[in-house]
Structure 1
Amino acid sequence: MLEIRLQKFLAHAGIASRRKAEEMIKQGRVAVNNVIVENMGVTVSSNDVVTVDGVPVITEEKKVYIMLNKPVGFVSTSKDQFGRPTVIDLVKDVEMRIYPVGRLDYDTSGLILLTNDGDFTYRLTHPKHEINKVYEAVISGFPKDNEIKRFEAGLKIEDYQTSPAKFLVLDKQGVNTLVRITIHEGKNRQVRKMCEAIGHKVLTLKRIQIGPIALGNLPEGKWRHLSDNEIKTLY
């Protein structure tokens, strides 16, 4: 959870309304980490111990499920050691601490999910669940039938063999080709490496679907909460 004002924390925990919580603070009934608080400017996070009349306030963090249309130039981590912008920077107005489910490369755009639900993350990222991920890519040249068959059968990439995949030609764009690729693995830069293995460099790459959840017309850089039905279908 991000730091929020103490009275808001008490209201979210169901202790009292925000106005009533402010009165309790002024009365010296609220402590943070064993220190009595009497002003309204104090903020707390999930690492703090808050008590009211000496009784600890126990909160169950609300589960959050978000879909984001990630632009190129953002990393799929909560923090970046090189100071690059992260996907979390695009959802700053979400109060709870959330993190990306899986990853999208710095130079790949499209659908990424964020949550604070560890079980949800496990279900979507563990290889045994084989959740399909669908990408649209512009690749150099025009893939031949035998190259597509090799791609779909699985390729030897560095030290691993990829699982069977789907490869659909959508359109020719000058000297390049727009294709749709479906895989259920998530190795580092896997789609790019697979395309290069059949002789076609990826020029642009965008993820448009995870399992049954499609990016749709969500604008780049924007996000929305998943619906209850979407969450259920992913589970």
Structure 2
Amino acid sequence: MERLQKVIAHSGIASRRKAEQLIQEGKVTVNGKVVSELGVKVNRNDKVEVEGIPVHREEPVYYLLYKPRGVISSVSDDKGRKVVTDFFPFIEERIYPVGRLDYDTSGLLIMTNDGEFANSLMHPKYEVDKLYIAKVKGIPTREAIKKLERGIVLEDGKTAPAVVKLVSMDKKKQTAIYEMTIREGRNRQVRRMFEAIGHPVLKLRRERYAHLTLQGLQPGEYRELTPHEVKQLRVLATTKQKR
């Protein structure tokens, strides 16, 4: 037996919070009867519908994808561009990305059909280390890098301090490569931070997400997360949200 809102969240229809709202609004039925109170539990034989649409009870699955550049972090695109689900042609479950990486950014992306799990990872209070490798135009001064390390003011507010490490520089080509570790998940954050100090990002890859890395994968390849890795992410999200 599982709580009704958890079943809806696992189906990918909505987050658990949204599922609770749908239940309270009387938009959910179990075996043809409207359920409007939270706390109801259902089993696998119960027929659950949300606004008349049957809930498909899938087993939760979790994958790590090495997203290539030039791919949309979505399940579809009205412009016909390649999307991340195109790399999973033989996966029957309706998976989707947890968060997103920009079209021109490559790297580590988690894919799942577990709405509750995805929602917990994207919670505003969930602060997980994300390590990026950025190739930037020009060679920033030490003072410019210190601005990133202290936190820099963007149009949506000041960022949290970042950890920035120089990997290499090419004085002839006037480019530099940096490792940057951040804990926030703002839109195009790494690119905007470097732009704010006058050094646009030429190439960007997310190398690490919490304890997960791209080791053993090439762009476009994926692997299933182990139960232990999923458990670690759940524990980390729960710990962060309780702070």
DSSP 3-state at the match of 2:135: strand
Q: In 2, Cα distance between the equivalents of 1:175 and 1:59?
A: 54
Indicate which of 101, 116, 119 corresponds to 1:119. 116
Write the deviation string for residues 164-207 of structure 1: whole angstroms up to 9, x where unpaired: 11111111134211110111112221111100111111010000
Correspondence for 1:148? 145
Correspondence for 2:208? 209
Q: Determine if contact 1:138/1:179 at 8 Å carries over to the other structure.
A: yes
The amino acid across from 2:202 in the alignment is L
Correspondence for 1:158? 155
RMSD (Å) for aligned C-alpha atoms: 1.9
Correspondence for 2:241? none
Q: Determine if contact 1:69/1:110 at 8 Å carries over to the other structure.
A: yes
Write the deviation string for residues 127-171 of structure 1: whole angstroms up to 9, x where unpaired: 212012110011112221111111011111113221111111111
Alpha-carbon distance, 1:96 to partner: 0.4
Structure 1 window deviating more from structure 2 (99-108 vs 183-192): it is 183-192
Q: In 2, Cα distance between the equivalents of 1:152 and 1:126?
A: 24
**What is the TM-score when the length of structure 2 is the normalising length?**
0.70
Q: Which runs of 5+ in 2 are unaligned?
A: 1-45, 48-54, 235-243
Q: In 1, Cα distance between the equivalents of 2:56 and 2:75?
A: 23
Correspondence for 2:76? 79
Q: In 2, Cα distance between the equivalents of 1:146 and 1:171?
A: 17
Q: In 1, Cα distance between the equivalents of 2:209 and 2:167?
A: 19
Correspondence for 1:218? 217
Q: In 2, Cα distance between the equivalents of 1:59 and 1:68?
A: 24
1:46-125 to structure 2, matched below 5 A, reads 60-125=57-122
Aligned residues: 181
Which 4+ residue blocks in structure 1 deviate beyond 3 angstroms? none
Q: Which runs of 5+ in 1 are unaligned?
A: 1-48, 51-57
Identity %: 44
* 1:108/1:59 CA distance change after superposition, 3 Å: closer
Work out which of the two has the higher radius of gyration on C-alpha atoms and give 1 or 2: 1
Q: Determine if contact 1:208/1:216 at 8 Å carries over to the other structure.
A: no
The amino acid across from 2:192 in the alignment is K
**What is the TM-score when the length of structure 1 is the normalising length?**
0.73
DSSP 3-state at the match of 1:147: helix
Q: In 2, Cα distance between the equivalents of 1:75 and 1:160?
A: 26
Write the deviation string for residues 199-219 of structure 1: whole angstroms up to 9, x where unpaired: 111010000111111111311
DSSP 3-state at the match of 1:81: coil
